[in-house]
Amino acid sequence: MTLYLSADLPAYDVLRGEGLSVADDGQAPASALHVSVMNLMPDRISTETQFSRMLARSGRDVVLNLLRPTGHKARHTPQRHMDRFYRTWPETQTHRIDGLIVTGAPVETLPFEDVNYWPEMVRLLNWAKNRQLPSLHVCWAGQAALKVYHDVPKHPVGAKLFGVFEQTVHDSGARVLDGVGSSFPVAVSRHTEVREADLPRDGSIRILASSDASGLCMLEDFSANAVYMFNHFEYDTDTLVREYRRDVDAGQPIAPPANVSIDDAEANPARDPSWRKGAVVFFDNWLSRLVEARGWPADKPTDYSMVSQVVAE
């Protein structure tokens, strides 16, 4: 199907060049799903392109909306880009949102309360939970949501968990993993982890996938209508290598990414990574939750007066 986004966003031309169906967001049909992405990653442009690619490769019509924390200045992305293409979360509360994605962030070694946008994150997460808005929280964002919703701590892991690791599926009946298989590879890039022993025992959370080598990978939180993905389905073939080069240049202690050929990744950055098939299936499954939660058939025009009322409540 088609991803609708600003035709001036860099991702637009990149995805068109890959043969994906994209169109200007002003052309979106009323039936399209509206997905808001709170982008907290340092390289906003690369990250918005990666998530756009996943949404564009789904079987759904999707409108992409980009969010940023209020008052937070991006150090690695031009401010004119942020001002032109991003809204703050308070600005978008009265706009239609069918689903929310919150990305990872380079703050995982900080206590949650020391993150300068933490109060706004708490408000955003509670707002989403109170509305049972289908949400996907990636890497640090998954840890943040577990902290807010269940007071689950994160733990340092010593040497960074870094590379591509095979994950075992624990719940084959989980709809977001339908069609993924009994295991799948995924990119991992973390200094911290959430541990099974700290999870609530009330049945509100189930473990969907994990690895002996890299720990918990994916959880489903029934109390918040949320999925926590501690790793990176959205990454490109060369993302881990670019992170490795960045850390080496910064003088940080870092081992090469495990189970990754640096030479091959740098020679073939546009090739689909080993985790891409599972990623596409996962994102399409997650988007199907948005259709169900919205309560309107995807092939019928949406009553926007109803949408505005629901979002504004």
Q: Estimate to the nearest angstrom the gap between the alpha carbon of 14 and the chain centroid.
A: 19
In whole angstroms, give the CA distance from residue 152 to residue 117. Answer: 19
Respond yes or no: is residue 217 known to be catalytic. Answer: no
**Token pair in block for residue 203:** 């049945």
**Cβ neighbours around 232 below 10 Å, total:** 25
Q: Which of 34, 48, 217, 232 is catalytic?
A: 232
> Rounded to whole angstroms, what are the CA distances from 271 to 21, 112, 183, 246, 264?
18, 36, 21, 21, 10
Q: Which of 108, 220, 234, 243 is catalytic?
A: 234
Looking up tokens 């002003």 gives 26
Distance CA 275, CA 272 (A): 8
> Is residue 240 within 8 Å of residue 187, measured between CB atoms?
yes
Does residue 91 have an active-site annotation? no
* Candidates 108, 139, 217, 220; catalytic one: 139
232: DSSP letter: B
Q: Give the residue numbers marked as catalytic.
A: 139, 232, 234
